[in-house]
Amino acid sequence: MNYLRQFPEIEQETIKCMKCGNCQAVCPLYKETGAEGTVARGKIKLTEAVLEGKLDYTQRLAKIFETCLQCKACAAACPCGVQPDKIVLAARAKLAQERGLPPVKKLIFKVLSNPGLFKTGLALGARTQGLFFKQREDGQSARVPISGIVLRRVLPKLAAPSFLNRVPENNPVPDARMTVAFFSGCTTNFAYPDVGKAILEIMKHNKINVIVPKAQHCCGLPVLVHGDVDTATEMAKSHVDLFSKYQVDAIITVCGTCGESFQKNYAELLKDDPEYSQKAQKLAKKTYDFAQFLVDVVGLNHSKLGPVEATVTYHIPCHIGRSMNAAEQQLQIIRSIPGIKFNSLKQPDRCCGGAGSFSLTHYDLSYAILKHKLDDIQSTGADYVITGCGSCRMQLNDGIAQEKMSQKVLHTAELLAQSYRNAQ
Ligand code: SF4
Ligand code: SF4
């Protein structure tokens, strides 16, 4: 990602844009705001002005570039093959370099990049969450506005203990046909440990050993998207070192953002590093979303699946669909489960508005985007919303709670594990 360090190199991307405006039709932010600064074309024009020296690195410019979900809908719809999400990342990196990161972000990224500190902090948070958050059946909401969290927002409870502290590092099975290393990601580790448990069950049914490297930590994408390229690079190196130690057939992930980091971003960030470049590329080739791995590598054995009597729909996480290309495999798994009645969303790949910390920093705008997804879900008559990403799940859960809807949100892996259990 040279353009992240050498901002002028992003011109190779901006010059492809013919300003046709096709991206307006698909950008979830533009649909809410109608403001040219929120859509890809507007951001590209601003980038060109910066490159020509006509614009300064002002606070206003930083705010405009903060307003992007990184959903890649614009890139998928662009007739010229422009990747506006990369242009936004480059601009954010340059803005961080020129203006410096705010002290709060610096502190958060320092904690995220220090696995010991991060894990200790969240373990402490899990023990004391009742003090700061009102507990409810479907999650918790803040008693006071902590780090700008809107009081009505419903967040998941922190898992105590975390997924990584619940399971052994080595999970062998008799007569194993393959071995994988599992990257759980922060949402599975700290909020939805049942997803990790489901992965271990699924792999056991398929006679696959699972290694859960205990020293894994945040994938680094939250740091990268805020422009802290150096910290993101250090986090990438740490995971490349860690996961290269294991002799495994594949690395599997359960979140589009984490999967994208291993499949694409680490190799990009480290491509000019003589020590890490090849190692990162090797890991990238071995990384799969769990559904890709099951369908494309292992082969889904339909005869082992038990019935799950439920009406479900599926939300495609942006990074599962547009970055990892794993949505088809997730849908194949869901549709292959006996008893499932599948009612598709009208717009399954429309962004839910979560986009990591965007839903914290821009709650109202994020919620306006989510509302379209909630209406779509309601119209399907589904009892369960299945998705493949913890961050989307947090966003959907909040919306369902706010609108007093009845649907439950599950990860695709949890639905599949239930099917295996019902077969026994
Ligand atoms: S980014 Fe693509 S779709 Fe958007 S204005 Fe430029 S060429 Fe058109
Ligand atoms: S990545 Fe998504 S939110 Fe950002 S400009 Fe493109 S379509 Fe809009």
Angle at 228 between CA 223 and CA 233, to 5 degrees: 80
> Distance from the CA of 69 to the center of ligand 2, in angstroms?
6
Number of structural domains (the chain) is 2
| Helix, strand, coil shares, percent, the chain, to 5 | 55, 10, 35
**CATH code of the domain in which 88 resides:** 1.10.1060.10
CA pair distance 84, 87, nearest whole angstrom: 5
* Cβ(95)–Cβ(227) below 8 Å: yes
Pairing of strands 340-342, 310-315: parallel
Joined tokens for residue 276: 């890490």
Q: How far is CA 337 from the centre of its chain?
A: 25
Q: Is residue 187 classed exposed, middle or buried when 0-12, 13-18 and 19+ CB atoms within 10 A define those classes?
A: buried
Instruction: Determine, yes or no, domain membership for 272.
Output: no
Q: Which atom of ligand 1 is nearest to the CA of 39?
A: 4
Enumerate long-range contacts of 330-334, CB under 8 Å, 24 or more apart.
330/289, 330/291, 330/386, 330/388, 330/412, 332/291, 332/295, 332/300, 333/291, 333/294, 333/295, 333/300, 333/412, 333/415, 333/416, 334/386, 334/412, 334/415
pLDDT truncated to tens, each residue of the chain (424 aa)? 588 888 999 999 999 999 999 999 999 999 999 999 999 999 999 999 999 999 999 999 999 999 999 999 999 999 999 999 999 999 999 999 999 888 777 778 777 778 777 778 777 877 787 778 888 888 888 887 776 788 889 999 988 899 999 999 999 999 999 999 999 999 999 999 999 999 999 999 999 999 999 999 999 999 999 999 999 999 999 999 999 999 999 999 999 999 999 999 999 999 999 999 999 999 999 999 999 999 999 998 887 899 999 999 999 999 999 999 999 999 999 999 999 999 999 999 999 999 888 888 899 999 999 999 999 999 999 999 999 999 999 999 999 999 999 999 999 999 999 999 999 7
Please give the helix or strand (H or E) that residue 417 lies within, else none: helix 412-422
Instruction: Determine, yes or no, domain membership for 184.
Output: no
Instruction: Determine, yes or no, domain membership for 203.
Output: no
Question: Where is the domain boundary, 99, 117, 133?
Answer: 99
* Cβ(294)–Cβ(333) below 8 Å: yes
Joined tokens for residue 310: 């439920």
The CB of 27 under 6 Å from ligand 2? The reply is: yes
Instruction: Determine, yes or no, domain membership for 228.
Output: no
Q: Which residues sit with their C-beta closer than 6 Å to ligand 1?
A: 17-23, 40-41, 44, 74, 78, 80, 82, 84
The CB of 279 under 6 Å from ligand 2? The reply is: no
Instruction: Determine, yes or no, domain membership for 285.
Output: no
Instruction: Determine, yes or no, domain membership for 59.
Output: yes
Question: Where is the domain boundary, 81, 99, 117?
Answer: 99
The CB of 352 under 6 Å from ligand 2? The reply is: no
Question: Where is the domain boundary, 75, 99, 123?
Answer: 99
pTM of the model: 0.94
Instruction: Determine, yes or no, domain membership for 118.
Output: no
Ligand 1 atom 6, closest CA: 17
Tell me how far CA of residue 332 lies from CA of 256, 340, 342, 414, in angstroms: 17, 12, 11, 15
Residue 374's domain comprises 302-422
**CATH code of the domain in which 382 resides:** 3.40.50
Instruction: Determine, yes or no, domain membership for 315.
Output: yes
Give the Cβ contact number of residue 259 at 10 Å. Answer: 29
Task: Name 63's Cβ contacts closer than 8 Å, sequence gap at least 6.
Answer: none
